[in-house]
Amino acid sequence: MNETDFIAALRKLPLHPGARGLADDTAVLEIGGETLVITHDAMVEGRHWLPGQDMADVAWKLVATNLSDLAAKGAEPLGVLIGHVLGEGDERFLAGLHDALADYGTGLLGGDTVSSDGPRALGLTAIGRATHVPVPSRSGAQIGDALYITGKLGAAMLGFEALRDGTGAGTTAYTRPLARLSEGQALAPQVSAMMDISDGLLLDAFRMAGASEVSLAIDSKSVPVAAPDRLLDCLKWGDDYELLFSLPADANPPIPATCIGKVEPQGFAPLFLDGEPIANPQGLGYVHE
Amino acid sequence: MNETDFIAALRKLPLHPGARGLADDTAVLEIGGETLVITHDAMVEGRHWLPGQDMADVAWKLVATNLSDLAAKGAEPLGVLIGHVLGEGDERFLAGLHDALADYGTGLLGGDTVSSDGPRALGLTAIGRATHVPVPSRSGAQIGDALYITGKLGAAMLGFEALRDGTGAGTTAYTRPLARLSEGQALAPQVSAMMDISDGLLLDAFRMAGASEVSLAIDSKSVPVAAPDRLLDCLKWGDDYELLFSLPADANPPIPATCIGKVEPQGFAPLFLDGEPIANPQGLGYVHE
């Protein structure tokens, strides 16, 4: 079964009311007057990390990608559970896990450790506390809003290429991405919609437009990129974990961010790039095996 | 790195205060006046399930084993997140997941779906709400307490053998174990210590004794077993997911349960079986590959 069909089938199962779109979004759980945000992301050997890559970086990224999901909800991390498959580089994995937990000021809550042969799939569940309710979602963008991103796109792409090709250029943006936790918390009370850019700006904007039932118009030249000569690659490449959000047109973001477009009535395509409609998500996101 | 070393290393990482013993026990998270119980258990192809086994049963068991961890804490399930690796039998996996969620009255909160080659490791995170605080732990057994179990041990062993050998005998106890949720909730206010028996009575009792810093004396003839002619196998085999708990000597359990021994001062072995000391956990639990 392919992933799309599997996720469609999951949506027909008994769902928790806080199961927002399953794999597309992050679960929200109200309990005792608080709102928890819970996410589970997995990484697969040979697919989400390069063979021979330092397992300390893999552990870091596993934490950072999950915490980035919390950041997009304005949540502060409470703890993580790991689903670990033992194998090569476990000492380095532990070292990277230590770095990430210490750096983000969160702690290990539990998990499970198993043995298996073949390529490993490592999972992590992160639990956070929402600092603002309602929790931002990707479905709230309003017509007339301005569209913003934090940071610069394409840095992870350059890091990946440097690592793959051994050029000696900086790889940190790819190996040790940062979850925008403080930015997400500052933005949560103001945004109409927010998500993290894990699969590339274009693909993730396409998803936000669909969830919000609007069209998003992006001006490519306004997007800060790490490689201006490869603009489209930067817009398609994932792994930067910046935040994409919409704000009322007259609002100013409370953190450094760049306006890259606007929210328009739902047109005949969910996404317009420099006025050109993009109707099909196929090929929008960079697949980095 | 082997599992014991890995878990020992995990304990040196930044831990959440609710990280009770990591892989040995279940995380407890206090939030907004409520207490959450959170567990993550994984199952590996060829290790936790037989080749060719119905994936609907695998999904059921993945849910049941995690909910059994909640049962041991007296928690009611709030929802689950899955970490799924796509592969053979996904339709059946979804059918079994549906059955388990519907049967236990809980819902899917989220998760992640990935592709990988080779044997699959499937993970599940279950989140529950404690119905009684303090949440029962395995470390509270008091000298003089009586030791009890629910149900009968060895039924999963017989089910496993029937499935493996194709004898036509009943396999349900192995393929669709039950989490003792209502029993756990009824017991939580009364027990001094509680845990589920996932790895066999002897090994799990050994662990409870260690955590509680006592010795446990078990009378083998008093243990209800599914195969009286293979008593020791029944005491060593896991996968029954019954509850093991201690109660003050003058208390009566509020649910059907059998007294199988008592809690004694810490002797020179953590466990005494019919008066014989068991000092080493090696070989206590049945390893069912």
Residue in B14, B25, B26 nearest the CB of A108: B14
Taking contacts as CB-CB distances below 8 angstroms, the residues of chain B near A14 are 98, 101-102, 106-108
pLDDT in tens, B141-168: 999 999 999 999 999 999 999 999 999 8
Q: Which residues of A touch B88 (CB under 8 A)?
A: none
A118 touches chain B (CB under 8 A): yes
Is there a contact between A169 and A155 (Cβ–Cβ < 8 Å)? no
- Per residue in B188-207, pLDDT (tens digit) is 999 999 999 999 999 999 99
pLDDT of residue B21: 57
The whole-number pLDDT of residue B175 equals: 93
Q: Which pLDDT does position A287 carry in this prediction?
A: 43
Contact B33 A33 (CB under 8 A): yes
Q: Please state, as a whole number, how many other Cβ atoms lie within 10 Å of the Cβ of residue B8.
A: 12
Write out the residue limits of the CATH 3.90.650.10 domain(s) in chain A: 146-278
The sign of the torsion formed by the CA atoms of A129, A134, A140, A142 equals negative
Structure tokens that stand for B155 in this block: 């039924």
- The count of other CB atoms within 10 Å of the CB of residue B131 is 18
Q: In the structure encoding, which two tokens stand for residue B186, read together?
A: 């009824």
Cβ-Cβ contacts under 8 Å for A287 (sequence gap 6 or more): none
Percent of chain B with pLDDT over 70: 97
ipTM: 0.87
Q: Tally the C-alpha atoms within 13 A of residue A143's C-alpha that lie toward its C-beta.
A: 8
What's the gap in Å between the CA of A6 and the closest CA on chain B? 8
Mean pLDDT by 10 residues, chain A (289 residues): 80 77 75 92 87 92 95 95 90 93 92 83 91 94 98 96 92 94 98 95 95 97 97 93 97 97 96 92 60
Give which of A190, A201, A209 is closest to A251, Cα–Cα: A190
Q: Taking Cα atoms as reference points, which of A97, A103, A164, A62 lies closest to residue B1?
A: A97
A45 φ, ψ (degrees, to nearest 5): -55, 135
Q: Once rounded to an integer, what is the mean pLDDT over residues B31-41?
A: 91
Which pLDDT score, from 0 to 100, does residue B8 have? Answer: 79
Would the pLDDT of B93 be above 80? yes
Confidence of residue B256 (pLDDT cuts 50, 70, 90): very high
Q: What is the pLDDT of residue A12?
A: 79
Candidates A62, A175, A186, A31; CA nearest to B114 is A62
Which of A172, A135, A245, A29 lies closest to B107, judged by CA?
A29
Look at residue B223 and give its three-state secondary structure. Answer: coil
Q: Where in chain B is the domain with CATH 3.30.1330.10?
A: 3-130
Which CATH number applies to A3-130: 3.30.1330.10, 3.10.20.740, 3.40.50.150, 3.30.390.50? 3.30.1330.10
Q: Name which residue leads in pLDDT, B19 or A64.
A: A64
Output the pLDDT for position B218.
Answer: 98
User: B40 and chain A: CB distance < 8 Å anywhere?
Assistant: yes
What is residue B289's predicted lDDT score, i.e. its pLDDT?
Answer: 34
Give the model's pLDDT for residue B2.
82
Single-letter code of the amino acid located at A4: T
Which residues of chain B have a CB within 8 Å of the CB of A91?
1, 9
Contacts with B67 from chain A: Cβ below 8 Å: none
Query: How much is the pLDDT for A22?
Result: 62
Q: Do B6 and A90 touch (CB under 8 A)?
A: yes
Q: A146-278 falls under which CATH superfamily?
A: PurM-like C-terminal domain (3.90.650.10)
Instruction: Find, in chain B, the residue whose alpha carbon is nearest to that of A19.
Output: B109
Chain B touched by A97 (CB under 8 Å): yes
**B237: number of Cβ within 10 Å:** 29
Confidence of residue B23 (pLDDT cuts 50, 70, 90): low
Rounded CA-CA distance B242/A41 in Å is 31
Q: Which residues pair with B123 in a beta bridge?
A: B42, B83
Q: Which residue of A has its CA nearest to B18?
A: A109
pLDDT in tens, B100-131: 999 999 999 988 888 888 778 888 999 999 99
CB A234 within 8 A of CB A283: no
Cβ within 8 Å, pair A3-B29: no
